[in-house]
Amino acid sequence: MRVGWLSAVMAAACGLPDGEFFGRVPEVTEPRRLRYCNSKEPEAIDPALATTTTAMKITHVLFDGLTIYDQHGLPEASLATGWDVSEDLRTYTFHLRDGARWSNGRAITAWDVAYQVIRVVHPLTASPNADNLGTLKNARGYLARRVFVLRRPVGPYPAGELVEQADKGEAVRVDLRASSGPLALRDLGAAAGTAYAWVAAGREVALVMTTGGRASLRSPDARAWAYVFDATGDGVYGWVPAVELDREPRGDVAIAVRRVAANALPGDRTAEAARPVVTARGRDLLVTPDVLGIAVPDARTIVFENAEPTPYFVGLSNNRALRPTPIEAVSRWPRRWTEPGRIVTSGPMTLTAWRERDAIVVDRSATYWNPGDVRLDRITFFAMDDQAAAANFYFTGGCDAVAANNIPSTYLPALLGPGGKSRYADFRTEPYLGIYFAYLNTEKLANRHLRRALAFAVDRAQIPRFTQGNEIPTAQLTPGTPISSLDVADLAACGVAHETRGVALIMTKGALCYVPPPGLDYNLVAAQAELAQARVELGAAFPTRLSYRYNAGTEVHKQIAEYLQAAWARIGLTVDLEAQEWKTFVADTRAGRYELARFGSIGNLPDTESEFLPLFRCGAPDNRSRYCNPAFEQLLEQARPVRDRVARNAILRRAEQVMIEDAPVIPLYVYTQKHLQKPYVRDLASNPVDQPPLWRAWLDPAWRSHR
């Protein structure tokens, strides 16, 4: 779909499209339909699994949140009408609105929000978004299957006490159950005859939760019910009477446990008490969401309890990890519930069609609680793996707007005029809270000196010469604004001088700032020294070739890959390049099936503690570099109880310094947003996190007279 003449324009810088706009501006015949050139096929639209900007734009129009992103990218009340914050910044109570419904007509309640939290942090879901909820009490221990409720007294601990596995050994699956008879998996309270799946007698299932807990549904009939997972085939969840789970396959196993730390106990208990290690049996322990820092006092209230002060928690409330999902649909088809005909949604739009590698069509929801906020009847998301195809489709009038940065870098000289200003009224560049980097798989590239050599060898200052989109080269991980462009108030908040190199993250204008450590910037002498040390330490194991992966269809990824290949060749390293289809690339990097790979991270709010540093925590679900350093972990933990934000940021900076010196990642540049948008498109917001409320956009047939 490349347009030959346009490529020639880029090279010759002549014969540019005439007129004020880039390409054709068709007449508006369907003012309530937006045709959007999205980037790539989304890896998922399930809020528990979606991680990329490609997926999130679709996810956010389909699923409502406690808050949503407003036009500026800030939290705005939605399912929640308001919230209360405790003085110690640990407890956040959200109050839900009446009248919000799922697309199947069922009311949305606080138990739906709690169910999403349980899904995201449960190990069976394998959600890459669990990091977003890691501040909740016991969330990490629950994810690792290492926190339990005592079902009966053990040693000095009474029944009901929260305990954790005391050793560092492998977690034991005490959540497994079986039945002496067949199990009828069904909706809560339903008769066995309505079962949608059956589990054979004796087959093991995982117990997820029971009715009547702090955050689980109430029993509809005074009986105790259990929610279980059968892993057969694609897997299926369902409710059964708890009494039917009469076998515990791991009931006799011995586990050393101790009381969890005081700040991890649900409620307001913070006084530390003795924590002797005792031996419990599997049948003494219950894996349950009751250990988590969530509680549902009633259908309209949910309480989140964090182990330490978490000043940014309201900023997380519009995150995909807290957008409820419907238990009735997820239970029946855990891996395929988002397919057309099965999906149940809560947002302003609902899924109509999903034509893989072609388009996703969403239509106005008939059940959304705020219909007056929805200006569109339909959005068509075109899956455009190839940037040139997206730009050319836009040029010919095929779509009304192009997703940020889905424009080939070779087109930018024609779109940007002298001084980096736009030549056309329908093209613009904006700031972006995102960082482009290369991951290094620290399990496969375990030698620190080798990784540092790779980082020192890259001259980032040259990259904007071929990316050509006003990107900001940096060796810092946390993105931000160039310090040289800050005003006096922000310079004071950052504690830096105008001539200081690098970027700074403005958290609160003129009041709060985070200046990331400088990173391993270009230094050929240092690169050669680190490489020599790596050769000594590795000896015969020193790699003769390395492999760098990137996702195909994006021109700049290929250009950067070739630039890095040349930079590493200059210090004597041979690196092969491999392009992959997007969904395969995402899956392989997450699974650690790579040595070096391009990636990027876009923040949801200006806070490195919640957005960028969690990518490198030991065992974090989205830790693609497989990095783990106890010193980094210790500093992050040291920062958690500190309420003073300046002092807290100082500790976080030390943590980031430890990590960046280990080189599990090579930062390359701070993103900018490049947008193509037809002049008749109204209210399609740009914001630093690139999360526009798309349903508020509309097409103006009389745009010429309204300019």
Determine the pLDDT at residue 271.
65
Do residue 77 and residue 156 come from a single domain? no
Determine the pLDDT at residue 9.
41
Give 590-645 pLDDT, tens digit per residue.
Answer: 999 999 999 999 999 999 999 999 999 999 999 999 999 999 999 999 999 999 99
Do residue 704 and residue 667 come from a single domain? no
Do residue 199 and residue 323 come from a single domain? no
pLDDT tier for residue 707 given thresholds of 50, 70 and 90:
confident
Do residue 470 and residue 567 come from a single domain? yes
Output the six-digit token pair for 274. Answer: 């003795």
Task: Look up residue 626 and give its DSSP letter.
Answer: -
The Cα–Cα gap between 272 and 260 comes to 10
Mean pLDDT of the chain: 94
pLDDT tier for residue 18 given thresholds of 50, 70 and 90:
confident
The Cα–Cα gap between 352 and 343 comes to 10
Question: What mean pLDDT do residues 662-683 have?
Answer: 97
Do residue 167 and residue 218 come from a single domain? no
Q: How remote is the C-alpha of 298 from its chain's centroid?
A: 29
Question: Phi-psi bin for 13: left (phi > 0), alpha (psi -120 to 50), beta?
Answer: left
Nearest-10 Cα torsion for 72, 73, 77, 78: 120
- Beta bridge partner(s), residue 504: 481
Q: Supply the range of the domain harboring residue 218.
A: 175-249
Residue 5 reports pLDDT greater than 50: no
| Crossing angle for the helix pair 645-662 and 448-456, to the nearest 10 degrees | 100
Report the CATH number at residue 361: 3.40.190.10
Output the six-digit token pair for 509. Answer: 């204008």
pLDDT tier for residue 10 given thresholds of 50, 70 and 90:
very low
Determine the pLDDT at residue 267.
76
Give 22-69 pLDDT, tens digit per residue.
Answer: 989 999 999 999 999 998 899 999 999 999 999 999 999 999 999 999
Report the CATH number at residue 445: 3.10.105.10
Percent of the chain with pLDDT over 90: 91
Do residue 91 and residue 28 come from a single domain? yes
Q: Is residue 489 part of a domain?
A: no
pLDDT tier for residue 385 given thresholds of 50, 70 and 90:
confident
Do residue 104 and residue 190 come from a single domain? no
Determine the pLDDT at residue 468.
87
Residues 514-530 as b or e (16 or more Cβ within 10 Å = b): bbbbebbbbbeebbbeb
Percent of the chain with pLDDT over 70: 97
Tell the burial category of 498 from Cβ atoms under 10 Å away from its Cβ (0-12, 13-18, 19+): exposed
Residue 3 reports pLDDT greater than 70: no
Give 152-174 pLDDT, tens digit per residue.
Answer: 999 999 999 999 999 988 999 99
Give 313-337 pLDDT, tens digit per residue.
Answer: 999 999 999 999 999 999 999 999 9
pLDDT tier for residue 14 given thresholds of 50, 70 and 90:
very low
Determine the pLDDT at residue 8.
40
Q: Is residue 506 part of a domain?
A: no
Look at 10 and 705; give whichever has higher pLDDT.
705
Do residue 436 and residue 362 come from a single domain? no
Give 218-242 pLDDT, tens digit per residue.
Answer: 999 999 999 999 999 999 999 999 9
Determine the pLDDT at residue 16.
65
Do residue 530 and residue 549 come from a single domain? yes
- The number of folded domains in the chain is 4
Report the CATH number at residue 200: 2.30.30
CB 366 within 8 A of CB 3: no
Give 174-220 pLDDT, tens digit per residue.
Answer: 999 999 999 999 999 999 999 999 999 999 999 999 999 999 999 99
Q: Write down the pTM of the prediction.
A: 0.92
Determine the pLDDT at residue 270.
58
Do residue 122 and residue 35 come from a single domain? yes
Residue 221, Cβ neighbours under 10 Å: how many?
10
Q: Is residue 665 part of a domain?
A: yes
Output the six-digit token pair for 450. Answer: 């080798």
Determine the pLDDT at residue 421.
85
The Cα–Cα gap between 444 and 346 comes to 42
Q: Is residue 696 part of a domain?
A: yes
Q: Is residue 103 part of a domain?
A: yes
